[in-house]
Amino acid sequence: MTTAFLTDHYELTMVDAALKAGTHDRESTFEVFARHLPAGRRYGVVAGTGRLLELIDRFRFTDAELNWLTEHRVVSPATIDWLSGYRFTGTIHGYREGELYFPGSPIFVVDAPFAEGVILETLILSVFNYDSAVAGAAARMVSAASGRPLAEMGSRRANENAAICAARAAYIAGFSATSNLEAGRSWGVPTMGTAAHSFTLLHDSERQAFQAQVDAFGPQTTLLVDTYDIPTAIETAVEVAGTALGAVRIDSGDLPSVVRTVRDQLDSLGATTTTITVTSDLNEYAIAALSASPVDSYGVGTAVVTGSGSPAAGMVYKLVARKNDAGEWVAVAKKSADKISVGGRKQPIRRLSGQGIAVAEVIDVVDHRVPDATGVTDTRPRDPVASDVAGRALLVPLIVDGAVASAYTGPDGVSAARAHHKRAIAELPPVAFRLGRGDPVLPTIYE
C-alpha cells in the first residue's frame, strides 16, 4: 500500500511553489532533532527507524492519489506530473534504532533535492514522535523494573495501528512481550496472554473457570485471581492446578500489601515456585514503588502506549544546509524566538570515558559533503581536552541513493535495534535512571 497520503497538504504546496520557482531540485540537507527531552527526562530513545524506512520505500503516488489531487486542485498539473514519477533517490543517515538521543541530536539526516526531501517531513515526524515517545517511557519502566520482565498490554488504549507501533517500540526498549498479535506477526515481537475477568464470569463458579483454563493450557498457565475474593481464589487455584501452578495475575487493589499477602499464602500452600504478575494501571513510578515487593513480572497498558504522559517526543524536521545559485553549500537555520536551530551539516559523536561511560553528546558542525559509508565526514582531530576519551560515531547509512539498508528493517531489524539499545543504555551513568525530573544526563556540546 502506498504511503504518499500520510502527509500534510502544505508539503505538496511547497513542492508546487518550488517547481514554479525552479528551486525544487536544489541539493539540500534536512535533519530531525528534538530541542528538548519530554517532561524533564534525562535521555530519549530513538524508535521507529526500521518501519519508517519501509514507509519511505512505499512512498508513491498512484492514479488514485493523483486523481484526488487533481479533482481537489491541490497542486498544478505540472506538479501532478512530477509527483507521478516520485521516488526517493536521496541518501539518509541516522542514529541506529534503539540508540539514545539528547537535545540537538541529529537522529535522521536526509540528503536530497529539496522537493524530494521536504515531501517526507510529516511522515518522518509522525513515526519518530510517537515511537520514540513510547520507547522513552518504556525504557524508564524497564530500568524501574530492575530486571523483572514487562509485557506491553496497551492495545485497547491506542489507535489500532498505533498499538502495533507501540508494542514494537516497547520491545526495542526492553519489554519482553506484547499482547498484540499483529506486532508478533509483523515485527517478531513475542506475544503472550491467557484470560480476562470475563472468562471467570462466564462460568458458574471460579473453580470451573480455573479448571477449564488448566484443562486447556496445563498447570503452568497464569490464573487471574482478583475477580471476586483474592485469598479464596488463591486457595482454589492451587487446589485446581496443584503446587506447580505457573503464575497468578493481580489486576487491582493496594498492590504492595496485596502482593505480599498473596506471596505468603502461595508459600503456605506449597506453591513456592508460582510467580506473581501485576497489571493494574502501572507506570514507571508504580513499578518503582513495587521494587521491594515479591512481584515477578509486570503488564503495562495505558502508560506505555501514551508515552507515560508525553505522547509525542517533540521532534522537528529542519532544513540545515542547501546549495545556492552558484552551486555552493550554505548553512541555513531558523532564528525564531525559542525555536532557534543550528545550521550546517553535523557529525555527532557519543563521547565515552576510559571506563566506557558516556560523558557527552558532541556535535561537530562540519562541511557539507555527504557522509561516506561509515557515516563520517570530518577527519579533524578532537580537541586536546578530549584526547583521553573515546568517541563512538552515531550516524550510519540507512538509505543510499534511494536503496534501503535491509539490515534495519523487518523483524531482524527489530531484534538488532533491541540489542543495540541494550548496549547503548549500558553506557549511561547511574544518575540517568533516576525517575525524578532532571536535566539531560549528557550535555550537548557543539564543536
DSSP 312: S
Task: Kindly state the DSSP code that residue 371 receives in the 8-state scheme.
Answer: P
Counting as low any pLDDT under 50, the low residues of the chain are: 370-388
Going by C-beta distance under 8 Å and a sequence separation of 6 or more, which residues neighbour residue 419?
98
- Position 341 scores a pLDDT of 82
Residues contacting 150, CB < 8 A, separation 6+ = 138, 141, 142, 170, 174, 175, 176, 287, 297, 298, 299, 300
Give the H/E segment covering residue 169: helix 160-172
> Rounded to whole angstroms, how far apart are CA atoms 162 and 306?
10
Listing DSSP states for 216-268 in one string gives HH-TTSEEE--SS-HHHHHHHHHHHH-TT--EEEE-SS-HHHHHHHHHHHHHH
- Which helix (H) or strand (E) segment holds residue 317: the answer is strand 315-323
Q: How far apart are CA 153 and CA 156, in angstroms?
A: 8
- Indicate the CATH number for domain 194-288: 3.20.20.70
pLDDT of residue 389: 55
Q: CB under 8 Å to 272, separation ≥6 — which residues?
A: 243, 266
Q: Does domain 9-134+310-446 have CATH number 3.40.50.2000?
A: no
Q: Which helix (H) or strand (E) holds 31?
A: strand 27-34
Q: What pLDDT shows up at residue 336?
A: 76
CB-CB contact of 225 with 233 (8 Å): yes
> In this structure, how many other beta carbons lie within 10 angstroms of the beta carbon of residue 117?
22
| Residue 345 near residue 338 (C-beta atoms within 8 A) | no
The rounded mean pLDDT for the chain is 94
Bridge partners, 250 (sequence order): 278
Cα–Cα distance, 195 to 208 (Å, whole number): 14
Q: Report pLDDT for 378.
A: 39
Domain ranges of the chain: 9-134+310-446, 194-288
pLDDT at 387: 42
Residues in the chain: 447
Mutual orientation of helices 77-84 and 63-71 as an angle, nearest 10°? Answer: 170
